[in-house]
Amino acid sequence: MPTLLHLDSSSDVHESRSRAITRAFADEWASAGDDFTIVHRDLHADPLPHLASSWLHWPASMRPDDVVLPAEAEALQAALIEELLSADVLLVAAPLYNYSLPSSLKAWVDNIHVPGVTAPFGSDTQPLAGRPAVIVTSRGAIYDPGSPQETWDHGVPPLKLILGEALGMDVEVIATSRTLADFLPVLADERPRALEEFSAALDAARLAARRLTTR
């Protein structure tokens, strides 16, 4: 039973383009057949607590004997890791907030990146190696090559580092920019390009889902 783990993190539940793009992917995934299941976690509607202790970044086998952690925090982390390990494909909505990740998504990352469990640390532990991860990012401004903002995206790079390098997943990115063109007069001239990018991202999401349901 192929399973998609679908994460949303936008605080805009009505007009969010990252949510619209991940929904297009999820709808295409579900249309592949009744056995294609989806586990949807809305990190904005149901936010995760931040790590109760820095020791949760490490497995129990690497913690000092005198470290005692909240049982509920350990149980939640174990459940999040198991949820990820049980997924055949990971879909992450990562809108760019203040040039970085939404804090709700960062809390999820902090819980699932555990050296020696999901990432190598003195061993070749990498249970998610080769598994597909699709990152959907929406950005308010212009991030074209050569633009002043080209290097201001600090949301996708850490996700590629954690998911791709540390966890060994096969990462692809679907991006749409200029999302503030409908709101900011200074970007009004960019509205046609914004709509083109959004439409292309929706198409890319559907194509990616179709490809991953037939792999």
Q: What is the pLDDT of residues 103-149, one digit of tens each?
A: 999 999 999 999 999 999 877 789 999 999 999 999 999 999 988 88
Show me where the domains of the chain are located: 3-50+76-213
Longest Cα separation, the chain: 61
Please list, in sequence order, all residues whose beta carbon lies within 8 angstroms of the beta carbon of residue 142, skipping any fewer than 6 positions away: 149, 177, 178, 187, 190
Q: Can you list the residues of the chain whose pLDDT is less than 50?
A: none
Structure tokens belonging to residue 127: 């249970």
Q: Select the CATH number that applies to the domain covering 3-50+76-213 from these four: 1.20.1250.20, 3.40.50.300, 3.40.50.360, 3.40.50.460.
A: 3.40.50.360
User: For position 168, what pLDDT does the model report?
Assistant: 97
User: For position 72, what pLDDT does the model report?
Assistant: 96
Which neighbouring-strand residues pair with 133? 90, 171
Q: Are 21 and 174 in contact (CB under 8 A)?
A: yes
User: For position 65, what pLDDT does the model report?
Assistant: 87
Q: Are 173 and 163 in contact (CB under 8 A)?
A: no
User: For position 7, what pLDDT does the model report?
Assistant: 98
Buried b or exposed e, range 164-195, using 16+ CB within 10 angstroms: bebbbbbbbbbbbbbbebeeeeebeebeeebe
User: For position 106, what pLDDT does the model report?
Assistant: 98
